[in-house]
Structure 1
Amino acid sequence: MRIRPVTAADHAALLALWRRTPGIRLRAEDELEPFCAYLQRNPDLCLLLEDDHGRVAGSLLVGHDGRRGYLQHLVVDLPFRGKGWARALLQEALRRLTALGIRKSHVFVLEDAPEALAFWQMQRGWSEREDIRVYSTTGD
């Protein structure tokens, strides 16, 4: 297993991974152009997990606003689950954010993603917020 920064060339393989993963909801921002812009705004933060043969086995998109980190699309492909690889991605992302002086991060988990909800409920140091509501806009 190897963790490395995501590149624009990884887009097609990541889209395929996300499409076959229940609980991941793709949006227009996951298309190539906005994906590449996100990588440019967050250099070396988005992570790709490869198996021992160089195949894409997982991902974690990571961004920040200068104060808080934001995690998206934490995925480990089904054949590779149960090996601690999601935690390895998470630890590496948090290490990179800490190196930038960012110690607090947020992740938004969809209610219809039971495996993701279970993962985050088990993570030490992460707690579900019940004191806020999230409002989103599509930008239209």
Structure 2
Amino acid sequence: MIYREMTKDDYDAAYSLWEKTEGMGLSAADSREEISRFLERNPGLSQVCVSPDGGLAGTALCGHDGRRGFLYHVAVSGEHRGKGIGRGLVSNCLEALRSEGIAKCHLMVIGSNADGQRFWSGIGWEFRDSILLYSHGT
């Protein structure tokens, strides 16, 4: 497996993986243009894992606001789950954030995504039920 920075050229394969990932929420913010802008704003932070056959085995979008890091769309293809790829992607993202002076990272999991909740709890992330998320479309 090869871990490397995600580029805008990975978009089609990444989006296909996200569409196949149960519990993944997709919206207009996941268009090619929006993801390209995210990658440009956060160079070197987002990661992909490529399998030996050249297919995309996993993704992790990673960025920060100067204070806190954020992970989005951490996904591993079904045939590659259970091999530590998700952990590897997250570890690479956290290391990249630390290199930019970011010590804390957050992520969101859709409430009905039991697999996602098990994954994050299983690798030591803290569930914060005291924080409420509010959103506003501009």
The two structures share one fold, judged by TM-score above 0.5: yes
**Counterpart for residue 110 of structure 1:** 110
The answer for the alignment partner of 1:51 in structure 2 is 51
Q: Residue by residue, what CA displacement relative to the aligned partner does 1:11-70 show, whole Å, maximum 9, x if unpaired?
A: 111111100111111111110111111000000111111011221010000010001000
Task: Output the CA distance in 2 between the equivalents of 1:114 and 1:127.
Answer: 15
Q: What are the superposed Cα offsets for residues 93-118 of structure 1, whole Å, 9 maximum, x if unpaired?
A: 00000000001000100011111010
Q: Is 1:131 aligned with 2:121?
A: no
Point out the more displaced range, 130-139 or 80-89. Answer: 130-139
| Alpha-carbon separation, structure 2, partners of 1:117 and 1:138 | 26
- Structure 2: gaps of 5 or more residues: none
Aligned CA-pair RMSD: 0.8
Question: Size of the alignment, in residue pairs?
Answer: 138
Scaled by the length of structure 1, the TM-score of the pair is: 0.96
Distance 1:20 1:130 in 2: 28
Q: SS at the partner of 1:15?
A: helix
Matched ranges for 1:45-84 at <5 A: 45-84=45-84
Q: Flag as ranges the 4+ runs of structure 1 deviating above 4 A.
A: none
Q: Given residue 102 of structure 1, which amino acid in structure 2 is its aligned partner?
A: I
Q: Match for 1:135: what amino acid?
A: Y
| Distance in 2 of aligned mates of 1:54 and 1:3 | 12
Q: CA deviation at 1:138?
A: 2.0
- One-letter amino acid of the structure 2 residue matched with residue 38 of structure 1: F
How much identity, in percent, do the aligned residues show? 38
* Alignment partner, residue 12 of structure 2: 12
Unaligned 5+ segments in structure 1 are none
